[in-house]
């Protein structure tokens, strides 16, 4: 009998009425013949409340106790869903991360899953019992302490459980009905995608799309876990909910997509991220070791650097421009000011009001001129490009934030995504 993992986020389990609705979704799959494991998040707003209590108790709290507190939200949800399923006549029990166990490293607050033994859960679902698992949490094996996986960690929990169980697929239920070509709030003509390749989804998630946590997509790609994004707010009994092809977006291997269409579309989607800041260091000596002197201290300060552009050397000097998360902007400047003697730059400049807009698609591998079309179209709208980076399947540009919506709409139409 095929196994299925279902994951429900905070808005899907926001109150008892929605938890009962989730139970009906689960019951539908059980009645369809699946052995089911369910991964749940905390009820909407609960994690923020728990985090707030930790900060109020002590500004410099113990990260291990923080995990013990914030992991409790998922424990409540898993128990309530198990009760709701039992009330509907579906055998179910709740599981915490440490009971399975989901073993992680000891990076409390942002732990990474190291191993899941699927034997215990496998035996549970084989018996016909729905395993309702508290997402977002695991256990550090050596210390036996509860760990949490960071924001959006329930997505990662679900994919990891699906891999451990050898599930047919992992269904991620959210408050949207799939992955769109871009944010429908910015482009009303944005379309829901029937399928998207792991690589494309990974780029979209890391470049601004908020549908899935980046680590969950990485895990799905490594273990080839077919992942299906669908809405939990649709009536569980609606006819379209019985068919993967009509009820959401399937994230799968590129070969599966190619097998289902004559030729892949050049561009799949447009992502954008407003939480970027630009940093530029001027008149840096163009010699070996300078890049290490710039980016080494930033790495030590755990500041993620994204787009990096270095100008052609002139008179033995160059300029280096890069982006960091806007939340780290002031910290990045402070780190670079501290490293000025080692780097030897003439000036340090920065800008907060910038946006990174990205064009993504596996079809770009085999088509020339994709970037040129974008640059021409943006120039026609009077949009100046501050920085550009590319890979095989994406082009990212940095622009002034005031032009975000215009740029996204322009590119969405340019690549035929409106229809």
Q: What is the pLDDT of residue 147?
A: 97
pLDDT at 275: 86
Question: Domain residues of the chain, as ranges?
Answer: 3-176+211-258, 269-414
Residue 271 C-beta-side C-alpha neighbours within 13 Å:
23
State both tokens at 228: 């299906």
Through-space distance between the first and last CA atoms of the chain, rounded to whole angstroms: 40
Does 243 score more than 70 pLDDT?
A: no
Residues whose CB is less than 8 angstroms from the CB of residue 47 and which lie 6 or more positions away in sequence, other chains included: 10, 41, 70, 73, 136
Closest by CA position to 134, among listed 258, 248, 13, 255: 13
Mean pLDDT (whole number) for 397-419: 94
Q: Which of 84-88, 181-185, 274-278 has the highest mean pLDDT?
A: 84-88
280-316 per-position pLDDT tens digit: 999 988 888 888 999 999 999 989 898 998 877 778 8
Instruction: Indicate whether 401 pLDDT > 60.
Output: yes
User: What is d(CA 110, CA 137) in angstroms, rounded to the nearest whole number?
Assistant: 10
Please check the confidence at residue 263 and state whether its pLDDT lies above 90. no
Would you list which residues are annotated within the binding site for substrate? 47, 74
Q: Examine residue 101 and say whether the peptide bond preceding it is cis (omega within 30 degrees of 0).
A: yes
- Backbone φ and ψ for 84, nearest 5 degrees, come out as -65, -40
Fold of 3-176+211-258: Carbamate kinase (3.40.1160)
Which pair of tokens denotes residue 251?
């994230």
Rounded CA-CA distance 218/43 in Å is 25
Q: Does residue 271 have a pLDDT over 70?
A: yes
Starting at the earlier edge strand, list the strands of the sheet with 102-104.
113-116, 102-104, 137-140, 146-148
- Whole-number pLDDT of residue 36: 97
Q: Is the pLDDT of residue 262 over 60?
A: no
Q: Which residues are annotated as a binding site for ATP?
A: 7-10, 174-175, 180, 185, 210-211
Q: Which two tokens mark 19?
A: 């938890």
pLDDT at residue 39, as a whole number:
98
Higher local confidence (pLDDT), 238 or 165: 165
- Rounded to the nearest 10 degrees, the angle between the axes of helix 63-70 and helix 72-87 is 20
Q: Is the pLDDT of residue 251 over 90?
A: yes
- Provide the pLDDT confidence category of residue 258 given band limits of 50, 70 and 90: low
In CATH terms, 269-414 corresponds, of 3.30.2130.10, 3.40.50.1400, 3.40.109.10, 2.40.340.10, to: 3.30.2130.10
Give the model confidence (pLDDT) of 132-191 as tens digits.
999 999 999 999 999 999 888 999 999 999 999 999 999 999 888 899 999 999 999 999
Token pair belonging to 359 = 């064009």
What is the tens place of the pLDDT at every residue in 48-85?
999 999 999 998 899 999 999 999 999 999 999 999 99
pLDDT of residue 27: 97
Neighbour count for residue 55 (Cβ, 10 Å): 11
Residue ranges of the annotated binding site are: 7-10, 47, 74, 174-175, 180, 185, 210-211
Q: Which of the pair, 162 or 368, is modelled with greater confidence? A: 162
Q: What percent of the chain has pLDDT over 90?
A: 71
Mean pLDDT across 92-110: 95
Going by DSSP bridges, is the β-strand pair 169-174/130-134 parallel, antiparallel, or unpaired?
unpaired
pTM score, whole prediction = 0.85
Q: Do domains 3-176+211-258 and 269-414 have the same CATH topology?
A: no
Q: What percent of the chain has pLDDT over 70?
A: 97
Least confident of 40-54, 360-374, 395-409: 360-374
Please give the pLDDT value at position 100.
Answer: 94
Predicted confidence (pLDDT) at residue 207 exceeds the cutoff of 90? no
HEC letters along the chain: CCEEEEEECHHHHCCHHHHHHHHHHHHHHHHCCCEEEEEECCCCCHHHHHHHHHHHHCCCCCHHHHHHHHCHHHHHHHHHHHHHHHHCCCCEEEECHHHCCEEECCCCCCCCEEEECHHHHHHHHHCCCEEEEECCEEEECCCCCEEECCCCHHHHHHHHHHHHHCCCEEEEEECCCCCECCCCCCCCCCCECCEEEHHHHHHHHHCCCCCCCHHHHHHHHHHCCCEEEEECCCCCCCHHHHCHHHCEEEEECHHHHHHCCCCCCCCCEEEEEEEEEEEEEEEEECCCCHHHHHHHHHHHCCCCCCCEEECCCECCEEEEEEEEEHHHHHHHHHHHHHCHHHHCCCEEEEEEEEEEEEEECHHHHHCCCHHHHHHHHHHHCCCCCCEEEEECCEEEEEEEHHHHHHHHHHHHHHCCCCC
Window from 52-61, 240-249, 298-307, 358-367 with minimum mean pLDDT: 240-249
Mean pLDDT, residues 260-286: 84
Axis-axis angle for helices 329-338, 290-300 (nearest 10): 130
The predicted structure's pLDDT at residue 378: 96
Mean local confidence (pLDDT), 260-268: 69
Between CA 76 and CA 338 the distance in angstroms is 46
């Amino acid at each position: 009998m095929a196994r299925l993992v279902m994951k429900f986020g905070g808005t899907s389990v926001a109150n008892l009425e929605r938890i009962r609705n989730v139970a009906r979704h689960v019951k539908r799959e059980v009645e369809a013949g699946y052995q089911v494991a369910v991964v749940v998040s905390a009820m909407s707003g609960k994690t923020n409340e728990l985090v707030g209590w930790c900060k109020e108790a002590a500004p410099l709290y113990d990260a291990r106790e923080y995990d013990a507190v914030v992991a409790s939200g998922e424990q409540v949800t898993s128990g309530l869903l198990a009760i709701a399923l039992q009330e509907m006549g579906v055998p179910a029990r709740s599981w915490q991360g440490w009971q399975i166990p989901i073993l992680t490293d000891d990076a409390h607050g942002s732990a990474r899953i190291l191993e899941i033994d699927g034997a215990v859960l496998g035996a549970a679902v084989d018996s016909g019992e729905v395993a309702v698992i508290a997402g977002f949490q695991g256990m550090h094996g050596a210390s036996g302490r509860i760990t949490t996986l960071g924001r959006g960690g329930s997505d990662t929990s679900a994919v990891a459980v699906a891999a451990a169980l050898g599930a047919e697929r992992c269904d991620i239920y959210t408050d949207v009905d799939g992955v769109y070509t871009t944010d429908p709030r910015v482009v009303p003509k944005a379309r829901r995608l029937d399928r998207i390749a792991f690589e494309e989804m990974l780029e979209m998630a890391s470049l601004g799309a908020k549908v899935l946590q980046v680590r969950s997509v990485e895990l799905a790609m490594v273990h080839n876990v077919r992942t299906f994004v669908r809405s939990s707010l649709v009536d569980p009994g609606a006819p379209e909910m019985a068919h993967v092809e009509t009820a959401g977006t399937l994230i799968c291997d590129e070969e599966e997509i190619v097998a289902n269409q004559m030729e892949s579309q050049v561009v799949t989607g447009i992502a954008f991220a407003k939480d970027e800041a630009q940093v530029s260091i001027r008149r840096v000596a163009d010699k070996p070791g300078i890049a290490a002197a710039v980016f080494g201290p930033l790495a030590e300060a755990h500041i993620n650097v994204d787009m990096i552009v270095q100008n052609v050397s002139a008179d033995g000097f160059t300029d280096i421009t890069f982006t960091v998360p806007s939340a780290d902007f002031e910290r990045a400047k402070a780190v670079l000011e501290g490293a000025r003697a080692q780097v030897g730059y003439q000036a340090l400049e920065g800008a907060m009001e910038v946006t990174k807009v990205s064009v993504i698609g596996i079809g770009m591998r085999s088509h020339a001129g994709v970037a040129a079309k974008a640059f021409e179209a943006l120039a026609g709208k009077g949009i100046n490009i501050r920085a550009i980076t590319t890979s095989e399947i994406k082009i990212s540009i940095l622009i002034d934030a005031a032009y975000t919506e215009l740029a996204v709409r322009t590119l969405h139409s340019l690549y035929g995504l409106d229809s």
